[in-house]
Structure 1
Amino acid sequence: MAEMFSTLGTWNWLIFGLLLMGLELLAPGVFLFWLGLAALLVGLLSFAISPSWQLQLLMFAVFAVAAVPLWRHFARRNAGVSKSNPFLNKRSDALVGRVFTLEKPIVDGAGTVRIDDTIWRVAGPDAPAGSRVRIVRADGASLTVAAA
């Protein structure tokens, strides 16, 4: 086993790093990427300073452990990216406050309204077809309306 470790060199680390990053493509989870990056760093440092195999393994361990807080930092920083479009995947919430024309009358509290290319169910006070209504609340695929 010691003989195998003693033959570790730059190319072994670079290939190992690329292999780990390639495995990340097959099983995404961002974990193998950071281990692959640690292996690539050890490979580049091995090229520059030719450390012993013990030091190479130690560097890999340190880089791999340091990658976890680094990954958390980037993940936390990029978590706010979706704030640029707060209604992404919440289409019905984006409709609140807008005014539309009833397609079918609201009878016994239920009717429909056409919004773009979609027919939405609406709930609210009885009103004839063609009436203007304002969306006051969105609950999944059902909208609550009031007279506009």
Structure 2
Amino acid sequence: MLASLFSTLGPWSWWIFGIVLLAAELLAPGVFLVWIGLAAIIIGALSLLLWEAAFWAWQLQLVLFAGLAIVLAFAGRRFYSDKGESDQPLLNRRGESLVGRTATLHEPIREGRGRIHLDDTWWPVIGPDLPAGTRVRVISAEGRDVRVEAA
């Protein structure tokens, strides 16, 4: 059945298959079917050139298609992979974004715990015992707490 399909459609069967895969990528995006569709179109282009050659059997075409699809999928993954940090690396790490900032203690730090107000949030702080009103600098973030020292 597969051999008769290849002989009936000729090299255009690869083009049709490639276009169907590219259309399927539009319906279910994931940037995966693009590479398989591209491999089918490349095999179709080779088939246009080599269709009459004795060695260009449908079995060889399938093997080359499978190999090319794998190579293109890995190359595409490498090309489109995440290339480094975001332009806002602390976007979802709010406590870490406070490191280096200074604030005034709202509550004194007693037994290592206190509170400051930065931006629109009250932050629990950890640090040396200090009276209320002291300027402190945030030196690190530890979960929801920030560690401070006298500024």
Report the alpha carbon displacement of residue 133 of structure 1 after superposing the two structures with TM: 0.6
Instruction: Quote the residue 2:49 is aligned against.
Output: 49
Structure 2 unpaired stretches of 5+: none
1:75-94 aligned at under 5 Å gives the runs 75=80, 78-80=82-84, 82=85, 84-94=87-97
Report the alpha carbon displacement of residue 112 of structure 1 after superposing the two structures with TM: 1.6
Of all paired residues, the percent bearing the same amino acid is: 42
Structure 1 unpaired stretches of 5+: none
Q: Does the C-alpha gap of structure 1 residues 47 and 103 become closer, same or farther in structure 2, counting only changes over 3 Å?
A: farther
Deviations 1:27-86 (A, max 9, x none): x3x43332233234344x26863736726434422321221441353256x432x16544
TM-score (norm 2): 0.71
> What amino acid does structure 1 have at the position aligned with 2:103?
F
How much is the aligned-residue C-alpha RMSD, in angstroms? 3.0
- SS of equivalent residue, structure 1 residue 133: strand
Out of 43, 47, 72, the position equivalent to 1:67 is 72
Q: For residues 137 and 69 of structure 2, what CA distance do their matches in structure 1 show?
A: 55
Larger radius of gyration: 2
Instruction: Quote the residue 1:12 is aligned against.
Output: 16
The reply on whether 1:22 has 2:37 as its aligned counterpart is no
The answer (yes or no) to whether the contact 1:101–1:133 under 8 Å persists in 2 is yes
The answer (yes or no) to whether the contact 1:14–1:40 under 8 Å persists in 2 is yes
TM-score (norm 1): 0.72
Report the alpha carbon displacement of residue 97 of structure 1 after superposing the two structures with TM: 2.3
Report the alpha carbon displacement of residue 124 of structure 1 after superposing the two structures with TM: 1.0
Instruction: Quote the residue 2:125 is aligned against.
Output: 122
The answer (yes or no) to whether the contact 2:127–2:147 under 8 Å persists in 1 is yes
> What amino acid does structure 1 have at the position aligned with 2:42?
L
The reply on whether 1:137 has 2:140 as its aligned counterpart is yes
Q: For residues 141 and 60 of structure 1, what CA distance do their matches in structure 2 show?
A: 53
The answer (yes or no) to whether the contact 1:16–1:39 under 8 Å persists in 2 is no
Q: Which has the higher helix share?
A: 1
The answer (yes or no) to whether the contact 2:17–2:40 under 8 Å persists in 1 is yes
Q: Does the C-alpha gap of structure 1 residues 122 and 33 become closer, same or farther in structure 2, counting only changes over 3 Å?
A: farther
The answer (yes or no) to whether the contact 1:24–1:31 under 8 Å persists in 2 is no
